[in-house]
Amino acid sequence: SQQGEEDPQALSIQEGENATMNCSYKTSINNLQWYRQNSGRGLVHLILIRSNEREKHSGRLRVTLDTSKKSSSLLITASRAADTASYFCATGAMDSSYKLIFGSGTRLLVRP
Amino acid sequence: GAVVSQHPSRVICKSGTSVKIECRSLDFQATTMFWYRQFPKKSLMLMATSNEGSKATYEQGVEKDKFLINHASLTLSTLTVTSAHPEDSSFYICSARRPTLNTEAFFGQGTRLTVV
């Protein structure tokens, strides 16, 4: 099962620019998380925002959460070529299963 | 270092054979682990939740007899793709989370399965 959609599906920017990715989901959640995946590799956790939080920062990352709209955004500021990867949002279910359901992902290309 | 170790990273097998993929939680006891499947340039699709000491919980549309999951210890879950066919070729990833709300998941490196 897949929770929702991310947009854009692909994003190409110049190094130094900001990148914004959006995520929408369908059900009630405990938290929303963002992960990064380099091609053909496992996922790396970036940031977690709880359902009662609206904004969170971590280094060059800024995440917002709007539970009324069931949406989240990830902003990467001052992008670097090394930020090139796929980015996924994932929602933590309200039940006790602890499972994460992933969005469709955004492929980010940062051109040097 | 890695918190979750997955092995093998790549495997090629012949149609009709079975392949076992191991997922180990190195840093904590994982009563629950998760198996995902990922097609090229696509998202991760949750296949099943592996429960230590009990049966796995499969997502809708996932064949239990095709994808056998065993979680015999608190640190090891295995996924066996039985009677593999070319359409089973994919990237399989496992993950583990501490059994607490609002915690991150740790992922294995993934296994690229190619069935020829």
Distance CA A102, CA B4 (A): 19
Give the nearest partner residue to A42 out of B102, B104, B108, using CB atoms.
Answer: B108
Instruction: Give the model's pLDDT for residue A18.
Output: 98
Phi-psi region of B71 (alpha: psi -120 to 50; beta: other; left: phi over 0): beta
CB pair distance less than 8 Å for A98 and B60: no
Q: Phi and psi (nearest 5°) for A31? A: -160, 165
The verdict on a CB contact (< 8 Å) between A99 and B104 is: no
Over the stretch B34-70, which tens digit does the pLDDT of each residue have?
999 998 888 899 999 998 888 999 999 999 999 999 9
pLDDT digits (tens, 9 = 90+) for B63-95: 999 999 999 888 999 999 999 999 999 999 999
Portion of chain A with pLDDT greater than 90, in percent:
76
Dist CA B112 CA B116 (whole Å): 13
Q: Which of B44, B103, B109 sits opposite A102 (nearest CB)?
A: B44
Q: How far is CA B104 from CA A48, A51, B116, in A?
A: 7, 14, 36
Do the Cβ atoms of A1 and B59 come within 8 Å? Answer: yes
From residue B3, how far is each of A9, A42, B49 by CA, in Å? 29, 12, 18
Find the CB nearest B104 among A1, A41, A48.
A48
